[in-house]
Chain A
Amino acid sequence: MDGTPKKASAAEAAKNPKASQQVMTAYRLEDGHVIYLAADGSWSEWIEQARIATTKEEADALTAAAKDATDANQIFETYLIDVTTDGRTWPVTMREVMRAQGPTIHPQFGKQAERGERVTAVANAAGGKRTERGERRENREG
């Protein structure tokens, strides 16, 4: 797998910031922590290091890599999420901001603690995606 995004796509994305930008996320099997498929093909705890897909082909490549890692029993529950790259790679939806950051009520826990900064982007998260997580995932593990 090529670890770097194609230059053409990156340039295209820069010209059109509204184009879809996605990263692959999952959970690490051993401790269940949130991880992202990084540019170098490894799995990172930090969304800032995630490889960004801007085309369907690139997203498919992320999906294929996630399947490989799932099959290799390193990770579970993989899916693509939308991100913005305005200054830093950051999720669009509140739910994903929470995963990238940690619980807002416990700034001493989660990734925010290790980053040494608390990102209060929840209320400011851009976008207009209705997640309806409760609806879609009701039977998952409720």
Chain B
Amino acid sequence: MYRYDEFDQVVVKERVEQFRGQVERRLKGELTTDEFRPLRLMNGLYAQLHAYMLRVAIPYGTLSTRQMHMLAHIARKYDRDYGHFTTRQNIQYNWPRLVDVPDILADLASVEMHAIQTSGNCIRNVTSDQYAGVAADEIVDSRIYSEILRQWSTFHPEFSFLPRKFKIAVTAAADDRAAVRFHDIGVIVHKNEAGEIGFEIMAGGGMGRTPAVAPTLNKFVPERDLLAYCEAILRVYNLLGRRDNLFKARIKILVMSTGVEAFTKMVEEEFALIKDSALKLPEEEIARIRAYFAPPGYEDLAPQSKALDAHLLKDKAFADWHSVNAAAHKQPGYVIATASLKPTGGVPGDCSSDQMDAIADLAKKYSLGEVRVTHEQNLVFPYVRQDDLYALWQQFVRLGIATPNLDLISDIISCPGLDYCGLATARSIPVAQQLSERFADLKRQKDIGELRLNISGCINACGHHHAGNIGILGVDKANQEFYQVTLGGHDGADASIGEIVGPSFPSDKIIDAVETVVDVYMAQRQGKERFIDTYRRVGMKPFKEKLYAAH
């Protein structure tokens, strides 16, 4: 994985000391609330519903053992013994004290981590495919380009005060696991017939109050021009994006209002001006970054482990887990394993200090010292020998992270909602908990099959409800929690936005409503259709009829 060079380390350490000084001045009264606010936000420190909240960046979700141990240490020493992995592959701490934050940042810096650009109207943490580098279906390790984008966007002086926040996601796999089409810029790595790397670049996707699937601006931007093309997009946006209306400030609104063609034309014109500038990526630089992501020291193994096969035959619980939470690896004899942070009745994405430490130890022993955070709020062990998978799974069971529900109905993405968030209008986690209990039967979940269920506690859509096959949006009606249901959202290569099914449901009816939706799907399903396939075939009508039959 990427290691800080001398410049990275110096910059991050200096930043910690700057913030330490700023906190001291704030506590002494030398900085006012308004003066301090942008300074703390630039270091990922939010003021949330109950306390401060610190959001720590995890570039493209990749963590070393050492870093995971540090995240556990921070939760234990400065917070309340847990952290919350987010839908942007980051981690949040919900209870840090302002006076401790400089020490927390210093601890993070000691393991090459920080909280820079996890807030504010800048380019945020670049996200990517959690299977990057190991997926059987990828062209190349997308983290190479995620890292190049991260370095370019970090402290980019021209883009530190954009009209609004800006999120970039990269994938190089056929199966888009990074929801790239729901980002301000989405990048898909392709190879042309000549075997050259290039990028399909999309812009103007997003969730929030105005959800949008990003249209493609250019189908094949040459590898050397990645930064110039992204810079061109950012320049057009920075100049023309609306700063007068908060709700219309994201790039998606600009793309919608100018039209894709006109927007693309402006980008291409800017690109033509700057593509031969210092932004052109030299082959040596790409090679230098690529070297950080060189395949690890794999062992020469048989493609299929006999030990694994034997365990699969003997232990049904293991076989059930394996059929759902293990994925094909590009290296013979290896497997990708996903630890679920969605136990039945649990809080999606929460992880205790002890769990984090244990996960770090397991990663060291069984996954070449690396873990990945997914945007679905789970943890991936990317380099597991098939021979070791049974032993690893037994440890997952012990830690309560072996729920075999990856991409099933209880693998719920949920924002923190009104339990934590100052923006929320309703709670989301309790709904996720109740739903995971209602659908706790794993046999039933498997029978239902792939179904993405996402919950947001307000219109800002941090819980990705627009991209959920079933989406739930919490709203406040006369001080009561109500939940709006959307159907047909999808975040894969054929991304779509969910449609509102009808009037919202009160909190004591929403669980039944979801079950009704599932029942309709099961009744309508043909062959091996997934929920999204059935929905696209039959449309909203049968769901709507059943949901509102009694009304």
Q: Does B247 contact A (CB under 8 A)?
A: yes
B433 contacts A by Cβ under 8 Å? yes
Given A130-B476, A131-B476, A30 and B99 contact (CB-CB distance below 8 Å): yes
Q: Is the CB of B419 within 8 A of A98?
A: yes
Judging by beta carbons under 8 Å apart, are B247 and A138 in contact? Answer: yes
> Within 8 Å CB of B33, what residues of A?
70, 73, 76-77
Complex: chain A residue closest to B249, CB-CB: A139
User: In the bound complex, do residue A95 and residue B49 qualify as a contact, i.e. CB atoms below 8 Å apart?
Assistant: yes
Residues of B within 8 A of A141 (CB): 41, 46-48, 119, 422-423
In whole Å, how far is A36's beta carbon from the nearest beta carbon of chain B?
Answer: 14
Q: Find chain B residues with CB under 8 A from A102 CB.
A: 50
What is the minimal beta-carbon distance from B351 to any residue of chain A, in angstroms? 14
Known: A73-B26, A103-B420. A130 touches B460 (CB 8 A): no
Question: Is B16 interfacial (CB 8 A cutoff)?
Answer: no
A115 at the interface (CB under 8 A from B): no
Which B residues are CB-close (under 8 A) to A29? 26-27, 98
Q: Given A30-B97, A139-B246, A141-B46 in contact, is the A127-B424 Cβ separation under 8 Å? A: no
Q: Is the CB of B425 within 8 A of A138?
A: no
Q: Does B80 contact A (CB under 8 A)?
A: yes
Among B98, B246, B507, the residue within 8 A (CB) of A138 is: B246
Cα–Cα distance between A130 and B476 once the two chains are bound (Å): 7
In the assembled complex, the CB of B85 is this many whole angstroms from the nearest CB of chain A, namely 16
The answer, yes or no, to whether A33 is at the interface (CB within 8 Å) is: yes
Q: Would you call A142 an interface residue if the criterion is a C-beta within 8 Å of the partner chain's C-beta atoms?
A: yes
Kindly state the separation between the CA atoms of A32 and B97 in the bound complex, as whole angstroms.
7
B195 beta carbon closer than 8 Å to chain A: no
Which residue in B97, B209, B249, B425 is a CB contact (below 8 Å) of A131? B425
Interface string of A96-107 (1 = CB under 8 A from B): 001100111110
Nearest Cβ on chain B to A27's Cβ, whole angstroms:
6
- Which one of B51, B246, B418, B430 contacts A32 once the chains associate, using CB atoms below 8 Å? B51
On whether the beta carbons of B50 and A104 are closer than 8 Å, the reply is: no
Rounded to whole angstroms, the CA-CA distance of A29 and B478 in the bound complex is 32
Q: Does A72 contact B (CB under 8 A)?
A: yes
**Complex contact A109–B95 (CB within 8 A):** yes
Which residues from B are CB-within-8-Å of A139? 164, 246, 249
User: Cβ of B418: which chain A residues have Cβ within 8 Å of it?
Assistant: 94-95, 98
With known contacts A99-B49, A138-B460, A142-B423, A105–B478 Cβ distance under 8 A: no
| A41 at the B interface (CB under 8 A) | no
Complex CA distance for A103 and B94, rounded to whole angstroms: 11
Which residues on B sit within 8 Å (CB–CB) of A135? 459
- Tell me which residues across on chain B come within 8 A of A138, comparing CB atoms: 209, 246-247, 423, 459-460
Q: Which chain B residues lie closer than 8 Å to A137 at the CB level?
A: 422-423
Residue of A nearest to B246 (CB): A139
Closest to B95 in A: A109
CA A130 to CA B425, docked complex, whole Å: 9
Residue A7 at the chain B interface, CB threshold 8 Å: no
Residue A92 at the chain B interface, CB threshold 8 Å: yes
Interface residues as binary, B46-70 with A (CB distance below 8 Å gives 1, 0 otherwise): 1111111000000000000000000
Residues in B whose Cβ lies below 8 Å from that of A105 = 347, 419, 427, 429-430, 433
Closest to A32 in B: B52
Cβ of A103: which chain B residues have Cβ within 8 Å of it?
Answer: 50, 419-420
Chain B residue numbers with a CB within 8 Å of A76 are: 33, 47
The 8 A CB mask of B412-432 against A (1 = contact, 0 = none) is 000000111011111101100
> Is A11 on the interface with B (CB-CB < 8 A)?
no
Determine whether the beta carbon of B49 is less than 8 Å from that of A94.
Answer: no
Q: How far is the CA of A125 from the CA of B425 in the complex (A)?
A: 14
- Give the distance to chain B from A64, nearest Cβ to Cβ, in Å: 17
Measured CA separation A138–B426 after assembly (Å): 15
Of residues 81 through 118 on chain A, the ones whose CB sits less than 8 Å from some CB of chain B are: 92-95, 98-99, 102-106, 109-110
- B203 interfacial contact with A, CB 8 Å: no
CB-CB < 8 A to A110: which residues of B? 50
A129 touching B422, Cβ below 8 Å? no
Contacts of A125 in B (CB 8 A): 479
User: Which B-chain residue is minimally distant from A33 (CB atoms)?
Assistant: B51
B424 in contact with A133 (CB, 8 Å):
yes
Query: Does the CB pair A128–B478 fall under 8 Å?
Result: yes
> Is residue A38 contacting chain B, with contact meaning CB distance below 8 A?
no
- The CA-CA distance from A94 to B427 in the complex, in Å, is 10
Is A1 engaged at the interface, CB distance under 8 Å to the other chain? no
Distance between Cα atoms of A114 and B246 in the complex (Å): 39
B481 on interface, CB distance cutoff 8 Å: yes
Q: Which residues of chain B are within 8 angstroms of A93 by Cβ–Cβ distance?
A: 479
Bound state CA distance, A44 and B41, in angstroms? 26
For the complex, is B265 an interface residue (Cβ under 8 Å from A)? no
Q: Residue B157 at the A interface, CB < 8 A?
A: no
Minimum CB–CB distance for B105 against chain A, Å? 16
B477 CB-CB contact with A under 8 Å:
yes
Given contacts A128-B478, A141-B422, contact A77 B246 (CB under 8 A): no
Which residue of the partner chain, among A27, A32, A104, A123, contacts B419 with CB atoms under 8 Å? A104
Choose one: B29, B49, B97, B507; the contact of A123 (CB below 8 Å).
Answer: B507
A34-B51 Cα distance, complex, nearest whole Å: 7
The answer to whether the Cβ of A57 comes within 8 Å of any Cβ in the partner chain is no
Q: Indicate if B234 sits at the interface (CB-CB under 8 A).
A: no
Does any Cβ of B come within 8 Å of A2's Cβ?
A: no
Contact with B along A17-61 (1 / 0, CB 8 A): 000000000010111111000000000000000000000000000
The residue that B422 contacts in the complex, of A94, A122, A132, A140, with Cβ under 8 A, is A140
Could you say which residues of chain A place their CB within 8 Å of the CB of B401?
Answer: none
A residues in contact (CB < 8 Å) with B: 27, 29-34, 70, 72-73, 76-77, 92-95, 98-99, 102-106, 109-110, 122-123, 125-135, 137-142
Cβ contacts A to B, 9 pairs, < 8 Å: A31-B97, A31-B98, A32-B96, A33-B50, A73-B29, A73-B32, A103-B50, A109-B95, A131-B476
Top 9 nearest A-B pairs (CB, nearest first) are A134-B458, A32-B52, A103-B419, A73-B29, A31-B97, A32-B51, A76-B33, A139-B246, A141-B46
